[in-house]
Amino acid sequence: MYLRRTVRRTKDGEVAYLQLAHNEWDPVAKQSKVRVIYNFGREDQLDRDAIRRLVSSLQRALEPDEALASAAGPGLRFIESRPMGGAWALDGLWRELAVDRTLAGLLRGRRLDGRAERVIFAMVANRALEPLSKLACSKWVSERAWIAGLPELDEDSCYRSMDWLLEVQNELAEAVYFATADLLNLEVDLLFFDTTSTYFERDEPEQDIVDEQGNVVRSAFRVRGHSKDHRDDLPQVVIAMAVTRTGIPIRVWCWPGNTSDQELIRQAKDDLRAWKLSRVVWVADRGFQSAENRRYLQRAGGHYILGEKLRGNDKEARAALARQGRYHTVAGNLRVKEVIIDDGTMRDRFVICHNPEEAKRDEAVREQLLAQIQDQIAGSDSLAPTERHQLYGQLCAKRGYKRFLRQTKTGKLRIDRGAVTAEQHLDGKFLLRTSDPTLTAEDVALGYKQLLEIERAWRDMKTTLDLRPVHHRKEDRIRAHVLLCWLALLLIRIAENQTSQTWRNLRDELERMHLGTFTGPAGTSRQRTELTASQKDILRALNVAQPPLFLDLQAPEPAAIRQRS
């Protein structure tokens, strides 16, 4: 297919016409013939704006680098094309949050490469766009990506900048939070807290460093502990995060892999105390439930919403579950009732939540489990006492069996009907405890359900941002790696909230915006692809300016000019 130009002679002279045509093979005539697809009309009366729109529309069918190559004018040579849209949008948010100015201020007076801020942003952008190791990230910046103000990068610069980032993490986290709060009008009334763990493939746990007297000088960091990824066989570290009700991560922490969850939320509260936040209600699941934590979270006027174990030994929780009362519906699938327990020292409010749909699922799962147990113990009465006891031990080792299985005084195996009845009363329920007297039962229940935001944050950290595998061995580098992932999560969550789109869709669309490099007699220039309507909408929603059509123009070297002359 090509543009065909034909000339006709008239009394006024020659007139040229333009046609869109292509050649077709005529099997009868045994030759190729021209087929006209569309007539554009006279060349001197051509609607050039319409032609430009057509060319722009046709370029959408091409890959970004092919579209740039096709746009090269006469005398220009197309060199390369790199995606730039994702980095441009992230850099716009980075500057909107004043992270660049904050890092520049923290950098003053330090003997460090002035590019440190750009290097840190490049590593953050890499995690959001194409997560790689630090060595691969340096090649990504130098060979495949476009980062404003950073034409190339080496691995040593990455590690130096990571070490410095760790030194200023407290000041950076506070400055970034308040900038984010101003940008998004954040009201930190509910603060969600949770932990996870990340493991190290094919790595041995560290050992404590001790002095000659046997005193621990430095505790090990990469150690084995309770793995939330079900990899207890590998060394790990524990990571915690605080997230707002809209999913904005405001702070991240790292601890040794064998650290217990119970004490972590207290340290997080201490670290945020210096920020002088207004009224804060900490929301966490039942893994952080303890009397000590509850007292600690109430210091300085703070409050909490904590999940409570339904089958725990807490006497207040058992009393709340036993209290009679009516449920009222607060959502399509959620009913709540409130119970206040006053033990003379602390007055806690309990909110019992009931989901009818979840209750049906619990009942179906239990019936299936009871049928399996019945099949397993059928005919066991004829076994010898030793064999029955062995079978009982084997069944109790299976998940969920021990709760409904009992031995009679004679050693026979039976389903515990009392346990079944007690379990029926818990179908579809979860129990919450709060110290805040101002929140309604509905606010407590719906606020706790927003813990899904932090679960989504962990999912994005481990998948989209590739938190693991962690290739670092040194503790400081591991902590810095987690900080980079946190900054990347902060940017992509802001982008998602402001555009109401997933980061995957945003990234795929923005990365179709490419920057092409052209060279010719007049020098070297860089030109971006034409913006699509979707790309314009995304940048507008993020309040990020569109990149200029030409980003760089370099005159030829003097030697090259003399050679041409």
Q: What is the pLDDT along the chain (565 residues), one digit of tens a residue?
A: 667 888 888 777 788 888 878 788 888 877 888 888 878 878 877 777 777 676 666 666 666 666 655 665 556 677 888 999 999 999 999 999 999 999 988 888 776 667 899 999 999 999 999 998 888 899 999 999 999 999 999 999 999 999 999 989 989 999 988 888 877 777 667 788 888 888 776 567 777 666 666 666 567 777 777 777 777 778 888 899 998 888 889 899 988 888 888 788 888 888 888 787 767 888 998 888 888 888 888 887 788 999 988 887 778 888 888 888 888 888 778 899 988 876 555 567 899 999 999 999 999 999 999 999 999 999 898 999 899 999 999 999 888 888 899 999 888 999 999 999 988 989 999 899 998 888 888 888 888 888 888 888 888 988 888 887 777 778 888 899 999 999 999 999 999 999 999 999 999 999 999 998 888 776 788 888 888 899 999 999 999 999 998 887 676 665 544 454 4
Q: Could you tell me if residue 477 is inside a domain?
A: no
CA dist 506 and 478 (Å) reads 29
User: Is 43 contained in some domain?
Assistant: no
264 assigned to some structural domain: no
> In what side-by-side order are the strands of the sheet with 2-10?
2-10, 13-26, 31-42
Q: Is residue 397 part of a domain?
A: yes
Residue 404 lies in a domain: yes
Residue 365 resides in a domain: yes
Give the dihedral sign, CA 25/28/30/31. Answer: negative
If you search the block for the tokens 């869109």, which residue do you land on?
Answer: 20
Structural domain boundaries enclosing 385? 357-424
User: CA nearest 515: which of 27, 29, 65?
Assistant: 65
User: Which pair of structure tokens corresponds to residue 123?
Assistant: 């590593």
CA distances from 424 to 248, 328, 433 (A): 38, 20, 22
How far from 94 is each of 122, 244, 415, CA to CA, in Å?
Answer: 11, 19, 60
From the list 433, 446, 492, 443, the residue with the least C-alpha distance to 465 is 492
- Give Cα separations from 548 to 66, 255, 342, 531, 541 (angstroms): 20, 45, 65, 10, 18
Per DSSP, the residues of 179-240 read HHHHHHT---SEEEEEEEEEE-TT-PPP--EE-TTS-EEE--SSB----TTS-TTS-EEEEE
Q: Answer yes or no: is 288 within a domain.
A: no
What's the domain count of the chain?
Answer: 1
Does residue 563 lie within any of the structural domains?
Answer: no
Phi, psi of 481 (to 5 degrees): -60, -45
